Every structure is written in C-alpha cells, then in structure tokens.
Amino acid sequence: MRIHDISQPLGTGTPVWPGDQPVRLDWTMSRDHGDSVNVAALTLSVHAGTHADGPRHCDDDGARPAELDLATFLGPALVVDGRGRDALDVDAVDGIDLARAERILFRTTATGDPGSFPVRFAALTPALAHRLGDAGIRLVGTDAPSVDPFDSKTLAAHRALAEGGVAILENLVLDDVAPGRYTLVALPLRLVEADSSPVRAVLLEDVP
C-alpha cells in the first residue's frame, strides 16, 4: 500500500486567508533554557492548512467538529482532474458515475505554491454543489483554499453543499496524485467549540 500525504505543511510560514489568524508557535518549555522537556504551544485558525469546513462555519446552528460523523472522512474517494478550468461546473463530473463516487477530490492546479495564498482559483459553482448533493456524494475536497470564489460574500457553494449533507475539505495537496480511486483518511479533531478543524489528510493506494 502506498500512502500519499495530501496535507499542507503546517508551520509559522503557512499562508492563511487574508485577515485570518496567522500560525504562531511558542515554546512554553525548552531544554535549552534548563527545562527537562521541550513543549510547544500553537495559536492558529482552524482553517489554517488542510482542514474540514464544518457546518457551523456558515450556520450558527451547524454541527461542531466533535459532532461530525467520522465515517464521512474515511473511505473510498475519487480524485478528479480539474486543471485548466476557471471554475468547477457540472461538466467537471461528466462521465463519472456519481453513484459509485461517494467522495470526490478536485485537483485544480498543476503545482501549488505552499508559501503564498492564491486569490484566484477554480471554485465550485452552486450548480455543481447541488449536483453533488443530489447524487448522494458524502464529501468534496479541493486543493483550493475554498469551494467558493475568493471574493464571495454569499458562500453559495458552501451552503448548497451543506444543504445536500456534503462535507468539505479544503487546501489539499494533490500535486503528485494521479486521477483515480483511493481510500481517503482525513479525520477532523474532536473540537467541541470550533466551527471547523485541521485534518491530516492521506490517500491510500493499493499497489501490486
């Protein structure tokens, strides 16, 4: 079995959504300063790096990460090549048997730049979001920082996916992943008060 780590490296240089909390790391204990152990403390947005957008992100009554069904974030997934598109519309899934897809991850860039935040990226159209929900897709992921355009105020794709019961993964790293079928493991943290959660996302590939 081959393991593809599709998580963004998370550190103080990780780009975040403009205006969001930067990633900060402090050492509360350090062997260099005479302590018996090294202990680090993190301050970060739950949307930093690869993360699951929870229902509470766009809905004050939505579920928190600790309340999410973990089975949604574990299981068969289909990686779809969406490179070269300005947006991901319904034709992005032409020829795909959505009844067998269950989870879909869209690769939209040739090579991501882990050191900068992109303001232009291929977002999902509301029509595609509704199509995925109507088809019973459990989860959609993207290597973009959002399923909606950067300047969106209505977050129509987020809301359409929520209406269809479709979970969201954002900021995936799919540069070295070929289109095809894999097993996804991307469990959110058991956060009881936040809206969303960082994940360590991997794809498992069966090899001969």
How far is it, in rounded angstroms, from Cα 148 to Cα 121?
9
| Residue 208: per-residue pLDDT | 80
Residue 17 is assigned to a structural domain of this protein: no
Q: Which residues pair with 197 in a beta bridge?
A: 52
| Residue 162: per-residue pLDDT | 96
**Taking 80 as the threshold, does the pLDDT of residue 114 lie above it?**
no
**Taking 80 as the threshold, does the pLDDT of residue 111 lie above it?**
no
- Domain count across the chain: 1
User: Domain span at residue 200?
Assistant: 2-8+49-205
Q: What is the pLDDT of residues 163-208, one digit of tens each?
A: 999 999 999 999 999 999 999 999 999 999 999 999 999 999 998 8
Residue 18 is assigned to a structural domain of this protein: no
**Taking 70 as the threshold, does the pLDDT of residue 112 lie above it?**
no
| Residue 202: per-residue pLDDT | 98
**Taking 90 as the threshold, does the pLDDT of residue 91 lie above it?**
yes
Residue 118 is assigned to a structural domain of this protein: yes
User: Which stretch of DSSP H or E encloses residue 131?
Assistant: helix 126-134
Active-site pick, 47, 51, 57, 158: 57
Measured in residues, the chain has a length of 208
Q: CATH no. for residue 198?
A: 3.50.30.50
Please give the mean pLDDT across all residues of the chain: 96
Q: What is the pLDDT of residues 17-35, one digit of tens each?
A: 999 999 999 999 999 999 9
**Side-chain-side CA neighbours of residue 58 (13 Å):** 20
Residue 116 is assigned to a structural domain of this protein: yes
Residue 140 is assigned to a structural domain of this protein: yes
Number of H helices and E strands in the chain, helices first, is 3, 13
How far is it, in rounded angstroms, from Cα 68 to Cα 62?
10
Tokens of 56: 């509470």
| Residue 189: per-residue pLDDT | 98
Residue 43 is assigned to a structural domain of this protein: no
| Residue 113: per-residue pLDDT | 73
Burial 64-78 (b: 16+ CB within 10 A, else e): bbeebeeebbeeebb
**Taking 80 as the threshold, does the pLDDT of residue 110 lie above it?**
no
47 catalytic per annotation = no
